[in-house]
Structure 1
Amino acid sequence: MTGWERPLALTMGEPAGIGGEIACMAWLDRARAGVPPFMLLDDPERIAALARAVGFDVPVRAVGDAEEAVAVFGTALPVLPLALPAAVTPGRPDPANGGAVIGSIDRAVALARAGEASAVVTNPIQKSVLYQAGFSHPGHTEYLAHLAGGTETVMMLEGGGIRVVPVTIHVPIAAVPGMLTTALILRTARILAQALRRDFGIAEPRLALAGLNPHAGEAGTIGREDVEVIAPAAEALRAEGIAARGPLPADTLFHAGVRRDHDAVLCMYHDQALIPLKTLDFDGGVNVTLGLPFVRTSPDHGTALGLAGTGRASPRSLVAALRTAARLAATRAVAPA
């Protein structure tokens, strides 16, 4: 199987969260929303029982491989069986199932690397529960990088007509100025530019670098980071042939007129990137991991334990993640090496 014939591999995520039911909802919406074929790596009996409990008319079919998953996708939700050691109660994670959650990620990556799945789409995990089960990585992205042999990765969010990349991620805001270096910005921007060419089909990516301080520092009068750290990075990128502008005032980077001038924005800290994206498209944002040897996307939300088992969770972000994964995988398949 090649190209579009290969299904996406969708991980179970935290079984006590909303992953199973939004997978069912995405399958139900497959025709209207243009959802590409995917196979869920989970317990088929659990998914069938969950669908019945929330009132979804979803026939579940256990499948043995990716080819069978594509064959049945039009009439049933294909599930590649993975056993769960403990019974699942919606909203109540059990560390006993942590190994199965990790195993689902391992299997999805193995399928993608073997060419049996076109991409990996990950349902949200409950990191605190995995830590209790012995998980030693900070999160999904770091574990995927580990499975890929320690490759350098970058987190990008896409939605609402924008693409944003936080240069620093889950760190206290007080630590950001000390962590922000020209070298870190350059590393992030190079991975981003390569991914925009290879996965998004943008031959000459245009990057905007947000300023760290108000008004991008106003020539150093409101902090020196913009002049001493960010501006040299933009200059170095231009010298390498990458179209980069900045530092630019972050408060004017995301209105409709300016968004047309760049393909992605490098933001200096987490909320600088996530606030505009979630304001523009709270339910439809997609997390894309750049730099991996396979395509990986994820819904831009958590496990939503409070909604689990109610059937009221929105599948929009998962549907967007599935569609984005298929699009990126198809572009990468024909991109120059």
Structure 2
Amino acid sequence: MTNTQETSLPIIAITSGEPAGIGPDIILSALSEQSFDARLIVLADPNLLKERAQTLGLSPTIQILSHSTDAKPHQQGVISVLPIYMGTETVAGTLNVKNSPYVLETLKQAGAGCLEQAFDAIVTPPVHKGILCDTGVHFSGHTEFFQAQCRSPHVVMMLATEAMKVALVTTHMPLKDVADAITEQNIRLVVRALYKDLQEKFGIERPKILVCGLNPHAGEDGHLGKEEIHVITPTLNALRAEGMNLIGPLPADTLFTRKYLDNADCALAMYHDQGLPVLKYSGFGNAVNITLGLPIIRTSVDHGTAIDLAGTGKANNGSLKVAIQHAINMANNAKKFST
């Protein structure tokens, strides 16, 4: 590979996640098992990776970098690290609040690196929200962290597998509050962000989006709820007038069938448990969580820290591999779109 080819490869930052969880395990195993067509940089304490590799019986080559531009194309078994050091030692499976500042620093540097264009995308293994909040810092999730860091007014949560993509109008809220959150403004913000990123980061020239209704049977002409008539349909019609290819509102129990999914690029669900159970049933462990609406690219795994599996060698790295590959694809598409 020539120097020009090497420097054209995207630089993907991978944070290390909760050090007592399976984040280090899945990074070590995934990057040891296969190569990726990108320059991968792990933001982590190299001593953590070396100790966890020894525990897992792995022997990768750990390369310490001084700058992102020093990264070479990823090779199987070689892990390039931009070092960020922990304040105290970590024991696999044992949470330690003293390491929370380290976790937050990895996220901060990853986000700043993307904003400064030192990185082309971020991939995040899982963190433990509780232990981070125990420091006195309110941490509700990666999405909100990067939204605040990027000063983005509105973000969209999407999960994707090879078979489907599902985005959400509302995310983590009680079901009793969902109907009030299905407003013209929220739908407009979500659909516009979703449509834009499907074009720019997924390379889909004219995305076709299936939109769920809120109520059973999409309201049954107002007999099972009127949100479709008064809010969802008029908003979709206005967005269609802007040139967007939107189908719906459709009943969720029929939208998530091959008849519709095989002929669309993404589904938009009104609330968390309307769309994600279907996606996770079809591909849990090999799905990726993607934050849209940011000026940067961020993907993540579809699972938690699995503290009980840390250091056992039993953690599944499938979702991390998919998250890395999606980040690479999205970074390449974004570069093409901008040229």
Q: Does structure 1 retain, via aligned residues, the 8 Å contact 2:167–2:266?
A: yes
Q: Does structure 2 retain, via aligned residues, the 8 Å contact 1:13–1:125?
A: yes
Equivalent residue, structure 2, for 1:128: 130
Which region of structure 1 is more displaced relative to structure 2, 317-326 or 305-314? 305-314
Gaps spanning 5+ residues in structure 1: where?
A: none
Alignment of 1:263-278 (within 5 A): 263-278=265-280
Change beyond 3 A, Cα 1:22–1:35:
farther
Deviation (angstroms), 1:235: 1.1
Structure 1 CA distance for aligned equivalents of residues 268 and 74 of structure 2: 41
Post-superposition Cα deviations, 1:111-139, rounded to whole Å, max 9, x if no partner, equal 22222222111111111111112322421
Q: Does structure 1 retain, via aligned residues, the 8 Å contact 2:122–2:297?
A: yes
1:61 equivalenced with 2:63 (yes/no): yes
Aligned match for 1:158, one of 157, 160, 163? 160
1:10 equivalenced with 2:14 (yes/no): yes
Deviation (angstroms), 1:14: 0.8
Aligned match for 2:47, one of 45, 48, 60? 45
Q: Does structure 1 retain, via aligned residues, the 8 Å contact 2:39–2:74?
A: no
Q: Does structure 1 retain, via aligned residues, the 8 Å contact 2:217–2:252?
A: yes
Equivalent residue, structure 1, for 2:327: 325
Q: Does structure 2 retain, via aligned residues, the 8 Å contact 1:137–1:143?
A: yes
Equivalent residue, structure 2, for 1:305: 307
Identity level (%)? 36
Equivalent residue, structure 1, for 2:258: 256
Aligned match for 2:27, one of 20, 23, 29? 23
Please tell me the residue identity of whatever aligns with 2:169. V
Aligned match for 2:200, one of 188, 198, 201? 198
Deviation (angstroms), 1:262: 1.9
Deviation (angstroms), 1:294: 1.3
Equivalent residue, structure 2, for 1:282: 284
Aligned match for 2:80, one of 78, 85, 103? 78
Q: Secondary structure at the match of 2:289?
A: strand
Q: Does structure 2 retain, via aligned residues, the 8 Å contact 1:3–1:118?
A: no
Change beyond 3 A, Cα 1:308–1:196:
same
Change beyond 3 A, Cα 1:73–1:107:
farther
Which region of structure 1 is more displaced relative to structure 2, 287-296 or 65-74? 65-74
Q: Does structure 2 retain, via aligned residues, the 8 Å contact 1:6–1:70?
A: no
Please tell me the residue identity of whatever aligns with 2:322. A
Change beyond 3 A, Cα 1:137–1:75:
closer
Q: Secondary structure at the match of 1:236?
A: helix
Post-superposition Cα deviations, 1:35-90, rounded to whole Å, max 9, x if no partner, equal 63311111111111101101123222222222333267555211111111122122
Equivalent residue, structure 1, for 2:245: 243
Change beyond 3 A, Cα 1:96–1:284:
same
Which region of structure 1 is more displaced relative to structure 2, 3-12 or 198-207? 3-12
Which region of structure 1 is more displaced relative to structure 2, 214-223 or 86-95? 86-95
Q: Does structure 2 retain, via aligned residues, the 8 Å contact 1:3–1:333?
A: no
Normalising by structure 1, report the TM-score: 0.94
Structure 2 CA distance for aligned equivalents of residues 124 and 290 of structure 1: 18
Could you say what the CA RMSD is over the residues aligned between the two structures, in angstroms? 1.8
Deviation (angstroms), 1:245: 1.5
Which region of structure 1 is more displaced relative to structure 2, 117-126 or 68-77? 68-77
Structure 2 CA distance for aligned equivalents of residues 160 and 331 of structure 1: 17
Aligned match for 1:315, one of 309, 314, 317? 317
Q: How many residues align?
A: 335
Deviation (angstroms), 1:313: 0.8
Which region of structure 1 is more displaced relative to structure 2, 213-222 or 114-123? 114-123
Normalising by structure 2, report the TM-score: 0.94
Gaps spanning 5+ residues in structure 2: where?
A: none
Deviation (angstroms), 1:221: 0.7
Equivalent residue, structure 2, for 1:226: 228
Q: Secondary structure at the match of 2:48?
A: helix
